[in-house]
Structure 1
Amino acid sequence: MKIGELSARTGIPPRMLRYYEQQGLLESERALNGYRAYGEADVQRALRVRGVVQAGLSTRMARVVLDIERQCELESPPECSLALAEELAGELEALEERLACLTKSRDAVARYLELSRHGDVVAALSANQVARPA
């Protein structure tokens, strides 16, 4: 698929997909005409990249995390220097703090809506999340 189709399927603008590729987070083949060509697996990879970056990781750290995920899937023993382990521990702590903050904000918004006359909106959202596979 071309970059436009990947963009349409992921909701990620082509410019951002090119940036991800420049940063080594996404790869494409090149057709004879020079156009980028992506495979089906690149849809999930692009979505995962966007999620990790939106979670607050730098693109450099996102690349590290995605490589770690790939290693874990292969069940090969990870190679990790002490410096990288310390850096990852710092990222883990920052992620935990962001998760706590987001959870508190989510709960406050949900509680506010539940107490308002539009509590049914929250119930409908919760029902949709339960019905959707993770």
Structure 2
Amino acid sequence: MRIGELSQRTGVSPRSLRYYEEQGLLSSSRSDAGQRHYSDAEVERVSLIRQLFDAGMSSRVIAMVLPCVDAPLDPGATESAFVTMTGERDRIDADIAQLMEAREALTVLIGINRRHWATLSAEPVTSSA
């Protein structure tokens, strides 16, 4: 199938599909005219790539995980994918903790601002007329 059909079947833009190919996540053959042609198996692969992106992985990390898909019986590839994915989860956990700290700091600042605002609105307005 050509890139337009793969795009329709997966809901992923042709631009994104070309990007996946540039990053080594997806492969195609080329016609004599240079058009990309994809196998039916690439529909599932694009779906998996989307799941990995949705899980917060970068294309570089996804490229490290995909060998497990390409060689599912290779224990080394499976272990490598496991280590990579757990590392990504740990990174996300650290990001969440940092965001929670930033949120708490912002909550404190909002409280300070609210108290300041209350004192401003409680002060009598003086006119210099």
Per-residue deviation, 1:79: 6.0
Once the two structures are aligned, what percentage of the paired residues are identical?
42
Structure showing greater Rg: 2
Structure 2 partner of 1:76: 74
One-letter amino acid matched to 1:91: E
Q: In the alignment, what sits opposite 2:127?
A: none
Q: 1:93 to 1:16 in 2, by over 3 A?
A: same
Give the equivalent residue in structure 2 for 1:92. Answer: 89
- Name 1:62's counterpart in structure 2: 62
- CA displacement at 1:88 relative to structure 2: 4.8
Alpha-carbon distance in 1 for matches of 2:68, 2:88: 14
Aligned length: 94
Taking the aligned partners of 1:54 and 1:69, their CA distance within structure 2 comes to 17
- 1:48 is aligned to 2:45: no
With normalisation by structure 1, the TM-score equals: 0.60
Q: 1:49 to 1:93 in 2, by over 3 A?
A: same
Q: Deviations over 1:51-105 (max 9, x none)?
A: 111211010101111113333x2x223069x9xx4x654213246x4xxxxxxxx
**Match of residue 103 from structure 1:** none
SS at 1:78's partner residue?
helix
- Deviation string 1:5-38 (CA, Å, 9 cap, x unpaired) is 0000000000000000000000000001100000
Query: CA 1:69–1:12 in structure 2 vs 1: closer, same or farther (change >3 Å)?
Result: same
Aligned-pair RMSD on alpha carbons?
Answer: 2.9
Cα 1:58–1:33 shift into 2, 3 Å: same
Q: Equivalent residue for 2:108?
A: none
In the superposition, the TM-score normalised over structure 2's length comes to 0.62
Rounded to whole Å, the distance in 1 between the matches of 2:48 and 2:85 is 18
Q: Which runs of 5+ in 1 are unaligned?
A: 98-134
